[in-house]
Structure 1
């Protein structure tokens, strides 16, 4: 299996649409630090080195500690490193990203609904959907971390 980058470019309209949707979802969520944790976790699950590098960098620039970033992959076992709200968002991120049973379990959705308003929850789900779209584009294309020429 080849590990080199594939030649397709992400079309400008797709890029602009996903970027706009992602920005709207993050604004509506109203918590940039939490949004970055969600982006990191989805990118870990999807093995997207490009997005993982981008969102780890953004999280650090936003003031997130390296210790917490190191623990995102094991958030359930990380004790009090993450708040209940963050844990609910990370659980929802995993459920929406993996869809192991073909749906988001009621327990996971209910826990998130306890921590987010209806509007925030909709924005959180939109943010998760957007990062999954980006992950799938970048993984399919095999975009390397830091690569700058991947869209037209």
Structure 2
């Protein structure tokens, strides 16, 4: 299958963009949102989303190259990521993979220590939206810079 150069489902794209914007706005931390989206995209091997969100994290939000480069190994990166970021990244991985069919209680409880109920709902929204984008882009084999659905 080859990538198409036109947007075939603009209503789907527009709804996904709006949902993602609402989730990120309610989270309130644009750097954290980008870290979450990059980590989920790493797990899902979505080159399109990785390219986009690394660029946004660095160019728009001033994220450092070291934190981006070590995101795949965030658990081993020492104090490079805050406890709040670590809780969000653990939740991201649990929601993205869902190997046991659910998010482990300890992962959810750890995130709930650092995010109030509304923030946690928005964080889950960001994680859900990026996983949806990853699946759309990977299933269509959209390369970096290609059309966003």
TM-score above 0.5, yes or no: yes
The corresponding residue for 1:40 is 38
The change in CA–CA distance for 1:82 and 1:150 in structure 2 (over 3 A counts) is: closer
Unaligned segments of structure 2, at least 5 residues: none
The corresponding residue for 1:58 is 56
Unaligned segments of structure 1, at least 5 residues: none
Question: How many residues matched?
Answer: 148
Pick the aligned partner of 1:25 from 19, 23, 26. 23
Say whether the 8 Å CA contact 1:71–1:78 is kept in structure 2. Answer: yes
RMSD: 1.4
The change in CA–CA distance for 1:67 and 1:8 in structure 2 (over 3 A counts) is: same
TM-score by length of structure 1 reads 0.93
Q: CA deviation at 1:146?
A: 1.1
1:108-123 aligned at under 5 Å gives the runs 108-123=107-122
Answering whether residue 93 of structure 2 is matched by residue 94 of structure 1, we say yes
Say whether the 8 Å CA contact 1:6–1:142 is kept in structure 2. Answer: no
Say whether the 8 Å CA contact 1:29–1:35 is kept in structure 2. Answer: yes
Q: CA deviation at 1:5?
A: 2.6
SS at match of 1:143: coil
Looking at structure 1, the residues matched to 124 and 8 of structure 2 have their Cα atoms a distance apart, in angstroms, of 23
Looking at structure 2, the residues matched to 39 and 73 of structure 1 have their Cα atoms a distance apart, in angstroms, of 12
